[in-house]
Amino acid sequence: MSTGLGPFYASSSLGGNRRRTSTRRTTRSRTVAPSAAQLDRARRQAERAQQEAERDAAIAQLRELKRQMTSVHLESFPAAHPPVIPDAPN
């Protein structure tokens, strides 16, 4: 009896008193091109990853703008002095 499940199979003898079971991995490799559904899924996944990266970049930019707007009052500015008015001419 033999079962061909994937790359593994098990076989055993059905005749006689001696019972022996063996399991081995097949060595033949199967090269299968991806299906249209798999390609579609990969394309959608890549598009989602691109959209997420763009969204994350926009969020980071907005956070930086917010930080700049809310921390402007923490900057040091030169001290204010009253303007110097020249004397009136005689």
Within a domain: 47:
yes
**What confidence tens digit (pLDDT) does each residue in 19-39 have?**
555 666 666 677 889 999 999
- By residue range, what is the domain housing residue 43? 34-71
**What confidence tens digit (pLDDT) does each residue in 52-83 have?**
999 999 999 999 999 999 988 887 888 999 99
> Which pLDDT score is estimated for 31?
82
| Number of domains into which the chain is organized | 1
Cα 10 from Cα 23, distance rounded (Å): 5
Within a domain: 46:
yes
Quote the tokens at residue 18: 């001696």
Strand 8-12 and strand 21-25: pairing? antiparallel
> Which pLDDT score is estimated for 83?
92
- Work out the mean pLDDT of the chain and round it to a whole number: 81
Within a domain: 1:
no
What global pTM score does this model have?
A: 0.45
> Which pLDDT score is estimated for 34?
92
Within a domain: 49:
yes
> Which pLDDT score is estimated for 75?
79
> Which pLDDT score is estimated for 7?
59
User: How many CA atoms, within 13 angstroms, populate the side-chain half-sphere of residue 80?
Assistant: 1
Quote the tokens at residue 37: 């559904």
